[in-house]
Amino acid sequence: MRNRHKFTFIICCAIADMIAMILGTIVFLNFASEEKIGWNALLLDKMIPITILSWLFSVTYFQLYRIDVLFSLEYFFRNSWRAFFTQRILWHSYIFIFQDNVLYFFGSRANLFQLSFLLFYFLLSRILFTLIIGEIKGWVFKQYTVAIWGFNKTSIELASHLETNSFFIQFLGILNENSTADYKSNEEFSEALSEAIHNASRDHINELYIVSKPDFISDLNYFFELGDKYCMRLKFVPDFSSISKKHFNSSHLNNFHVIKPRFEPLQNAYNRLIKRIFDIIFSLMVIVFIMSWLYPLLAILIKRQSKGPVLFKQMRTGKKNEPFWCYKFRSMYMNSGDESQQARKGDSRVTPIGKFLRRTSLDEMPQFFNVLMGNMSIVGPRPHMIKHTTDYNCHINNFMVRHFVKPGITGLAQVSGLRGETKRVVDMKRRVTTDIQYLQRWSLITDIKICLLTVIVTLKGDKNAF
């Protein structure tokens, strides 16, 4: 039941989504032909193939129709909208390239009706999919039953996960959750597990997760053969809750089971390439369209108010703890004190134009050159001075984790209100925790979201910017 019905559901969703995307393009083409806009004929002829290709790319990138994992409705909905908006961006980009007069496109009825149709479809279809998924179990005569044996912290978390996503399985819970048995030896544990497998088979359980301490398992082959004998799938989950309170991330290296302290999407070379392409395109656009006129303007103002260079460079800690020269517009008087001291509110070292630059974050603009050189990224943990890195590393255990990725011009901590002077170690700990959250949850959508939030925070004014 599990795979057959999941496969049928996913395939139906995929077909319905593709038909909707094509119908949306047909709606666009019908209205476009009626409008008095000089549409490029080559553009209109290729709209349906472009729609199909851009949608296929989007759903493949976000793995929307995955069948090989436990189905998560939240994951499916979230990635549905991610794929939809990505496809819209790609589709509009195609129009920007080939349409002669782009301004007409934004006001066209064709675009409005197409977008309205697709938004209505995605809202309605996801509601219908939710209702259908809720009824699927009732349509199945013989359900695929799953259970857990072993009562501990890890099994409770696993049970919560299975119960939340049990749309295509019948989850029976933890079989021995009321047991008070405390096993003193491997022999006692093996006898209890053998009996549990036998009882599970008698109860027609198809898949059994066995959660236990690694040192209790003396012979996996014996239990796997026992499960095979009863035509039952056994899956062993090691319980590390007794030796660590933190969550591990596990993966496989050929036949080796690898346990890591955290999941890092940017360890994937493909993700790093995507992030680097985004960095290069974004920084080039800023340099060409903004810095080309902003740099000489600010240079004149900085020079008029104080002697010294326009740019200020300082050695900062980068990826892999390697130092690099970080560039900023100079916002302080020359020879005005200890450069390693953080700026404070009302700092006398800051020039009048420097106060404006720091409050609006314009002093950070030259760091787009750092991004092009590969020292920094658009989004990432903010780089600290070498001295601060050394000092905080002695007080915060996981401080250096933030240096597993390139430092950024902006970051999750900055848009979360954790910018500015850190008077206490606890303030830096909160910032480090947020930086590590970014490292663990990175995605291109997250980077774009942080960039947009940075603009909003800057326009509203940040009380920690001084």
Question: pLDDT tens digits, residue range 175-187?
Answer: 988 776 777 788 8
| CA–CA separation, 394 and 399 (whole Å) | 9
Least confident of 99-108, 157-166, 207-216, 234-243: 99-108
Least confident of 44-53, 100-109, 208-217, 287-296: 100-109
Two structure tokens written together for 462: 């940040």
**Taken in order 326, 327, 330, 331, is the CA torsion positive or negative?**
negative
Report the candidate in 462, 228, 276 with the shortest Cα–Cα distance to residue 378. Answer: 276
Higher pLDDT, 49 or 421: 49
CB-based contact 350:380 (threshold 8 Å): no
**Taken in order 29, 78, 147, 228, is the CA torsion positive or negative?**
positive
Task: Please state the rounded mean pLDDT for residues 247-256.
Answer: 74
CB-based contact 146:162 (threshold 8 Å): yes
Q: How confident is the model at residue 53 (pLDDT cuts 50, 70, 90)?
A: very high
- State the pLDDT at residue 119: 93
Two structure tokens written together for 292: 């080309």
Mean pLDDT of the chain: 84
Q: How confident is the model at residue 466 (pLDDT cuts 50, 70, 90)?
A: very low
| CA–CA separation, 403 and 406 (whole Å) | 7
- State the pLDDT at residue 180: 67
Two structure tokens written together for 455: 């603009």
**Which residue type is seen at 33?**
S
- State the pLDDT at residue 423: 67
Q: SS3 for 397?
A: coil
CB-based contact 342:421 (threshold 8 Å): yes
Q: What are the domain boundaries of the chain? A: 2-139, 145-245, 269-460
Task: Please state the rounded mean pLDDT for residues 327-338.
Answer: 77
- State the pLDDT at residue 1: 45
| CA–CA separation, 107 and 92 (whole Å) | 13
Q: How many residues does the chain have?
A: 466
- State the pLDDT at residue 353: 86
Higher pLDDT, 208 or 306: 208
| CA–CA separation, 379 and 283 (whole Å) | 11
pLDDT at 29 over 70: yes
Report the candidate in 262, 239, 5 with the shortest Cα–Cα distance to residue 137. Answer: 5
Higher pLDDT, 47 or 461: 47
- State the pLDDT at residue 381: 94
Q: How far apart are the first and last CA of the chain?
A: 61
Task: State the pTM of this model.
Answer: 0.69
Torsion on CA atoms 326, 461, 341, 366, rounded to nearest 10: 20
pLDDT at 443 over 70: yes
pLDDT at 35 over 80: no
Burial letters for 340-366: b for 16+ Cβ neighbours within 10 Å, e otherwise? Answer: eeebeeebebbbebbeebbbebbbbbb
Q: How confident is the model at residue 335 (pLDDT cuts 50, 70, 90)?
A: low
Report the candidate in 163, 204, 170 with the shortest Cα–Cα distance to residue 1. Answer: 170
| CA–CA separation, 281 and 273 (whole Å) | 12
Q: Tell the residue number behind the tokens 């003193």, with chain if given.
A: 184
- State the pLDDT at residue 328: 92
- State the pLDDT at residue 33: 73
pLDDT tens by residue, 380-406: 999 988 888 888 888 888 899 999 999
CATH 3.40.50.20 fits 145-245, yes or no: yes
Q: How confident is the model at residue 308 (pLDDT cuts 50, 70, 90)?
A: confident
> What DSSP letter does each residue of 95-141 carry, written as one string?
HHHH-S-HHHHHT-HHHHHHHHHHHHHHHHHHHHHHHHHHHHHHH-S
> What DSSP letter does each residue of 187-255 carry, written as one string?
HHHHHHHHHHHHHHHHTT-SEEEEEE-GGG-S-HHHHHHHHHHTT-EEEEEE--TTT-SSPPEEEEETT
pLDDT tens by residue, 355-378: 888 888 898 999 999 999 999 999
Task: Please state the rounded mean pLDDT for residues 22-43.
Answer: 75
Task: Please state the rounded mean pLDDT for residues 321-334.
Answer: 89
Q: Tell the residue number behind the tokens 């103002």, with chain if given.
A: 301
Q: Tell the residue number behind the tokens 């974050």, with chain if given.
A: 361
